[in-house]
Structure 1
């Protein structure tokens, strides 16, 4: 077949100028793939959430490491406030009430207006469990940010030198030190890597967003 013949055949298959040939033969046009809706993964049921809260209640009474304190506090906050990962990393230390009873949340839905302006904000109530967890996390956080000389304002901070940071004029990267603002990717990675070590694969879903959607709406 000549090149012109190949092009003509391609047009017929793709539904271009050759489409009338299908109609002349009494054939329907080739179907086009319709966009498929995104299927959300199911959140944990209430039984699993009850077991998870029991685990949190037992874990908040002990101290294993700064990472453990941060993980317990994060789970408690998500269950109480339905906060997204991006909203968590945007929180500052002054968003937490002095008595730990409430946490200011700036809602930024994933499919918002596209303007970058937060849709709503609220002071969400924290349960006694989350309040206790936050007190332990703030104690660990104070040690992590001690070398920053009071310049740290992020509520959730990194635990150790983690990634390459920003490249200097010589092209070399300076690692980000402990106590720096936790990034969204780091928060999600921390959630994913903590499920197995703490024996929670049967209670915590693979995605943090699934856990958020399982929490009751206020």
Structure 2
């Protein structure tokens, strides 16, 4: 196929991507996933051996043969832009995310998507048990409740308390603002973002906070006030950075420019802070009777609790036109 023929599908793909990522109900995390999948599709279309005619239109690109070919290439790691350690094969979870994004892009482009069945998820890892959660909170409290305590430990003590009271995900935690806290720190309002294939609008939940969490939040808010004092315009985010970090750009002298402390905490920064602390906790607890090492991912801590919000509100979702869909054989992954 000629370059101009391929461009028709890619131009329509770009318009669909812009349409869906500019909507208010598309989260930043989902927008990144959609851009990632669109980028892989662009690379797949121009590969030698990709199904003939797939680039003639978005409808042709989203037909069964091109989508199966794309997902097969993606599952083997052949559409990556940089090398990774190991085999490079995609996980089942990433294939499921790709299929979700393809469905969203097809809906935004008003074309049917002949998608395969989503592969079954692997068994989830065991969540953190009650004893381990209690020991983690005790360790954090001892590290945070002392003069000159490390601001990162103070922040994490409060953050873990909010996780155990609400079951919030990393992205939902980072989206919290000061205005989401109740006047006496007795509640927090969390906006739940739909995941996977869900097209339901976000749900707003109000959760009661435990006494330990309220005390930890009071301590963190005192520390936070000092951190944001020099940030121009102040910061609305509940969780902010505790030290400067690289902004990813160079100044006039070629030196990496630093973001000051007090900037909004991002999901990656949150995950790194949690992992660093767990490494230290596991080292300190070695040999203690009954101790089992904590997992290094916040997700396993979050799944250990079943929160019960006191109030839930969900805005009505706009009607979504039905699209004809053909079921195909599942993509093989390992």
TM-score when normalising by structure 2: 0.49
2:281 pairs with 1:191 = no
Q: How far apart are the structure 2 equivalents of 1:107 and 1:204?
A: 26
Q: Distance in 2 between matches of 1:200 and 1:121?
A: 38
Q: Please say if residues 106 and 118 of structure 1, whose CA atoms lie closer than 8 Å, have aligned partners that are also in contact.
A: no
Counterpart in 2 of 1:162? 245
Q: Distance in 2 between matches of 1:96 and 1:35?
A: 39
| Paired residues of 1:44 and 1:214 also in contact (CA < 8 A) | yes
- Flag the 1:78–1:175 CA change in 2: closer, same or farther, 3 A: same
Q: Which residue of 1 aligns with 2:307?
A: 217
SS in 2 for 1:174: strand
Q: Distance in 2 between matches of 1:194 and 1:118?
A: 34
Partner of residue 113, structure 1: 198
Residues in 1 aligned to 2:157 and 2:178: alpha-carbon distance in whole angstroms: 17
Q: 1:3-55 deviations in whole A, cap 9, x for unaligned?
A: xxxxxxxxxxxxxxxxxxxxxxxxxxxxxxx9452331110123323433444
Query: CA contact under 8 A between 2:228 and 2:235: conserved in structure 1?
Result: yes
Other-structure match for 2:132:
48
The structure whose Rg is larger is: 1
> Is there any run of 5+ residues in structure 1 with no aligned partner, and where?
1-33
Q: What aligned pairs does 1:1-218 form with structure 2 within 5 A after superposition?
A: 35-56=119-140, 58-59=142-143, 61-63=145-147, 64-111=149-196, 113=198, 118-165=201-248, 174-198=257-281, 199=284, 202=292, 204-218=294-308
In 1, Cα distance between equivalents of 2:216 and 2:166? 14
- Per the normalisation by structure 1, the TM-score is 0.73
1:122-168, Cα deviation, whole Å (9 max, x unpaired) = 11111000000000100110010010255211100001111224567
Deviation, 1:169, is 9.5
RMSD between superposed Cα atoms in Å: 2.8
